[in-house]
Structure 1
Amino acid sequence: MKQAKMLTEQTTIQQKKPVIGVFSAGDPRIDDQSRERCRNIVKMVADTLADRVTTAEVVYSTILVDSERQADIVAQQFKEAGVSSLVCAPDTWAFPQLSVISLLAHFPKRTPINFTCGNSGPKPGVVFAHATNGAVTQSGILSHLNIGSWPDTGQNPVMTKETADSLVDWAYAAATYQAMKGRRVVVFGHDSMGMETALAHILPTRNIFGLEITRLDMKLLADMLNKQAYNKEEVKALRAWCDKYVKKIELRNDDDSQKLNTSLAMYLIVRDLLKDLNAVGGGFMSQLEWGSDPRGIPLPVADAMESFFNSTFDHNGTKPVMPFATEADVQGLLTMLFFSQLTGGNPPLFMDFRKVWEPKEITEVAKQLGVPLTGATIWEQKGFFDGNNSGSAAFDWAAKPGASVEEIMSRVTFPLQDFGYFPGGGNSVTFLTPGGIEGVVGRLGYNAISGMFSLIWDEAVTLDLPDTLATKVCNTTNREWPHTFVSTKYASMYEFKQYGPANHNHMVWNLPVARLQYWMDFTNVLSVAPWAARPVLVEGVDRSVPLLYLQNGGENATKLMLNGR
């Protein structure tokens, strides 16, 4: 009697990166020299991806897909290698149905596929790319076309930087889309302070992103603190690290010192819980029950814990970012999670959309303070908003990208929290982000009418203000919280303050716009950038619009039709 095969009873999990498979279609009538050039191009494309994309593994096949037989063979190779995204790099004419379409039949309908080719004339792979992209698109499948450039002749052509950049952005987006499937975030508590925009939309998050939301009660954390279910020696090591590196820690007495230690113990407890659950992110409700409701026993704030999670280091050295949202803001958490993944792990910024300073208002304040006006600064011309929230600000944002831990933490202080709002006490985290950091600012939102997520976003840069003006701006809100002065590239401050989807906003540095747009294509997230000053297409910045959208009434119209399919 034939018996089933028993798998090993392993007790650990090794998280694997998504795999991108690179191949080329071919034509059996083409000469051997051209076929060899095709194989070399496949390797060149695969090596480019492997060298520049840190979040995915890359494999390639030297079998040219001439017909259905080769399509079946390459598909089997790719499936055995765990391939979940496809790149076709043609250099000659081939037949779409006999090659790519037959290969695609082996993969789920929403498998990311990219056609990257040179704009070659001799045996036109570009003709094949257009023909196949059109064929795939007419069946309702999303595909991306990257008509780039490499030499028409020679056995070992090399793609241009622009061609590679477009392909790499696509690959990061595809890897992020696939990497989050089956992963989970862990959120302590329920939706904080009745913030409906922070709700954990469990079913849509699962169905659209493939991401699970594990919910744990804050009582578990309170109990573990009470039981001292943490490594006491490590708490001492973490406290010693803070004493050494944090510029200033405000403490009045031994009770304040113990509350800081409790906040640091929270970091270690939650860190271990997230590790046990193989989580990729987290969030903590805090208000009101944890530290603000005097009917209970208010506990110390979680600000330091949240900042450590979002940072690229802690007392043990360099570590991966663990996107973590204050106030159990799940939409904020998802935004930071995807922003960070798309950049290969850059630290996200969590901030209140606290106060918008339009040009007229900030220049009036500057005049009152005697600050000279030149009319040449961004804050005079466009204004900015003060990103300012008690928790979740990564320490990294206290300095410019690439700064050392010593430099970053020399700009960070731990003042005592506002006891009116947080009677449980403890220390907040504060710093002033330097100007000149460029990135993307935005936030995911969800709407019940469409059943879809949307992202309101823009390119942005952080600003420096004259010292007296910066002090005035910080004191206008909460001086004891982190402050980041952000100006958007296309949105006016009037537009940005009116169109914010919630009271929180988020930023990450070095996120190419095209990469973000590719990701919104894969996840079917609506792109919301209704700024009057932004062109429909910014060449060299935006990804080229997929043919699927052009043929179905535009990007958002197509996404609405695709929803639920």
Structure 2
Amino acid sequence: MARIGVINISDGRDYVHGGIAEFIRGNEDRLVAALQAAGHQVVRAGEAVTSNTLAGSLARQVQAEGVDLTVLHYCVWAFPHFTMLAAGQLTGPLVLVANTDPVQPGMVGMLAAGGALDQIGRTHTRLWGDPDDSALITRIGVLAAAASAVTSLRGQTFGRIGGRPMGMYTAVANADQWQRTFGVDVEEIDQWEIVRRAEAADPKEKVRARQWLERHATVHYDGDKLTEELLERQIGSYLAMRELIDEWNLDFTGIKGQPELTQYFATMDVAEAFLNDPYDWNGPKEPHVCATEADMDGALTMQILKHLTGTPVLFADVRHYHGDRDIWDLCNSGQHATWYAARSDDPAENLAKVHLYPEVFFFPAGGASVHHVAAPGEMTLARLTRHDGNYRLQLMLGEFENYDAATTETLMAMSTPEWPHAFARLDAPAEVFLSRFGANHIHAVPGDRRAELRAVCELLDIRLDEFTRG
């Protein structure tokens, strides 16, 4: 969860503060307890702000603790210049929270402070309610989660393995713009590093991993496009990527793959799927965002979604629209993390639904495609795209659906049955989606995370383009 600072702003007159100090402290205790009960880490200022010097020093102390978001709390009338001085020391997002107790004019204090911040153009959010009101705590939590996701991006490094795939403009972003907007650096690495390191990877490790996959998933060897040797080559590619991530300190990555690797070496499906998974044959691990086709905006979207949810993020092509059912087939080679097969933390449960099929004619070098059908449930679907050079977040709610075996087989056979599929019903009419959506790739996480993503847009100062049937 997020790390939240809390600073109470008070009256600057000693004789007034002396009569309200306990009231302020009691309300702060309630607010902090409610935030901690919701799972957040809370950094408290040592005392209420009652002077200009304390406004600066307490804000600096809270800032030094690396908070994602700071709550300025108004239980009483508060001198507005205290807020201005504190805000000057706080570089992160601000939330002004007013107590609604009618005895003390906390709301008046918040409005006076908020108006002063408006005059200097300092962005902030205003909330109000009892300190332990669940709705208030939820709204603070949404803002804190968004702030944590945005803050986590800054200083990170994206590793782009290869270059632009197959002429895809939407997969390539401007490194200067990334640094300015998101604080992310881009490290360029040649695909030869995957080939070189995969061939040099520990043969015993490759065999152990292959046997683990054979035990838990269903492997369909055909003696041509999928052999033990080719599967071990793909496993070697995964091990090569793990080495590159560790050596170059890469926070998230993308692999070009097509056409060089898929034509002459092997597909990256196994590597991409298991990089995005929260496990491999060595046990649990932190999911690492890796986008196929070196899709930079896709990887960045996925990294934000991972920071928000802590879960693996789905990457897919918008492959086909079944107009008779009003559902979309989201399908892209073997990119889908196997976690989506059952959404279980137990890899055996997910892999029981996974098939490794020989790759199709698009990829003559062969290897396994990591096939499964995504488990059902509510999903948030999103992607960062660019319009006239400016970023926007395209966002919608959806539902993944499952069907009986015969229906599923029929639907998959209409596109590429060997690849993974997610059958999605979107909260957007097809004509609206196809007319406005700015890429062929889309990304998804479980649940409704639209509120957090709206807040992310505000913090990054990028446009929200939300799709809805309403």
* AA matched with 2:349: E
The residue that corresponds to 1:310 in the other structure is: 276
Q: 1:124 aligns with which of 105, 110, 117?
A: 105
Q: Please give the alpha-carbon distance, in whole angstroms, between the structure 1 residues aligned to 2:19 and 2:370.
A: 63
- What TM-score comes out, normalization by structure 1 length? 0.79
Report matched runs for 1:324-473 at 5 Å.
324-343=290-309, 345-358=310-323, 361-362=324-325, 383-399=326-342, 401-402=343-344, 404-418=346-360, 420-435=361-376, 437-447=377-387, 449=388, 451-473=389-411
* AA matched with 2:411: V
Contact kept? 2:17, 2:50, Cα under 8 Å: no
Tell me how far 1:402 sits from its aligned partner.
4.3
1:70/1:496 CA distance change after superposition, 3 Å: same
The residue that corresponds to 2:46 in the other structure is: 62
Indicate the SS of the match to 2:358: coil
The residue that corresponds to 2:21 in the other structure is: 35
The residue that corresponds to 1:4 in the other structure is: none
The residue that corresponds to 2:438 in the other structure is: 501
The residue that corresponds to 1:77 in the other structure is: 61
Contact kept? 2:129, 2:136, Cα under 8 Å: yes
Indicate the SS of the match to 1:444: strand
Name the one with the larger strand percent: 2
The residue that corresponds to 1:378 in the other structure is: none
Indicate the SS of the match to 2:433: helix
* Number of residues of Structure 1 aligned to a counterpart in Structure 2: 467
Q: Deviation per CA, 1:90-131, whole angstroms, max 9, x where unpaired? A: 21110111x1111111234xx210122332211122222222
Indicate the SS of the match to 1:194: coil
- What TM-score comes out, normalization by structure 2 length? 0.94
Identity %: 25
1:524/1:426 CA distance change after superposition, 3 Å: same
Q: Deviation per CA, 1:284-338, whole angstroms, max 9, x where unpaired? A: 001111122xxxxx11111011011111111122211111101111111111111
Q: Please give the alpha-carbon distance, in whole angstroms, between the structure 1 residues aligned to 2:305 and 2:448.
A: 7
Tell me how far 1:144 sits from its aligned partner.
0.9
The answer to whether the aligner puts 1:26 opposite 2:2 as a matched pair is: no
Structure 1 stretches lacking a partner, 5+ long:
1-16, 151-158, 293-297, 363-382, 535-565
Q: Please give the alpha-carbon distance, in whole angstroms, between the structure 2 residues aligned to 1:168 and 1:84.
A: 11
Contact kept? 1:386, 1:484, Cα under 8 Å: yes
Q: 1:480 aligns with which of 409, 415, 418?
A: 418
Contact kept? 1:192, 1:286, Cα under 8 Å: yes
Indicate the SS of the match to 2:193: helix
* AA matched with 1:469: T
The answer to whether the aligner puts 1:243 opposite 2:181 as a matched pair is: no
Root mean square deviation of aligned Cα: 2.0
Q: Please give the alpha-carbon distance, in whole angstroms, between the structure 2 residues aligned to 1:23 and 1:434.
A: 44
* AA matched with 1:102: L
Tell me how far 1:43 sits from its aligned partner.
4.0
Contact kept? 2:198, 2:239, Cα under 8 Å: no
Q: Please give the alpha-carbon distance, in whole angstroms, between the structure 1 residues aligned to 2:359 and 2:245.
A: 26
Q: Please give the alpha-carbon distance, in whole angstroms, between the structure 2 residues aligned to 1:506 and 1:84.
A: 25
Q: Please give the alpha-carbon distance, in whole angstroms, between the structure 2 residues aligned to 1:406 and 1:71.
A: 54
Contact kept? 2:7, 2:59, Cα under 8 Å: no
Tell me how far 1:473 sits from its aligned partner.
1.2
* AA matched with 1:321: P
Q: 1:210 aligns with which of 160, 183, 192?
A: 183
The answer to whether the aligner puts 1:223 opposite 2:196 as a matched pair is: yes
Q: Please give the alpha-carbon distance, in whole angstroms, between the structure 1 residues aligned to 2:372 and 2:316.
A: 13
Q: Deviation per CA, 1:122-148, whole angstroms, max 9, x where unpaired? A: 112222222222221232121111223
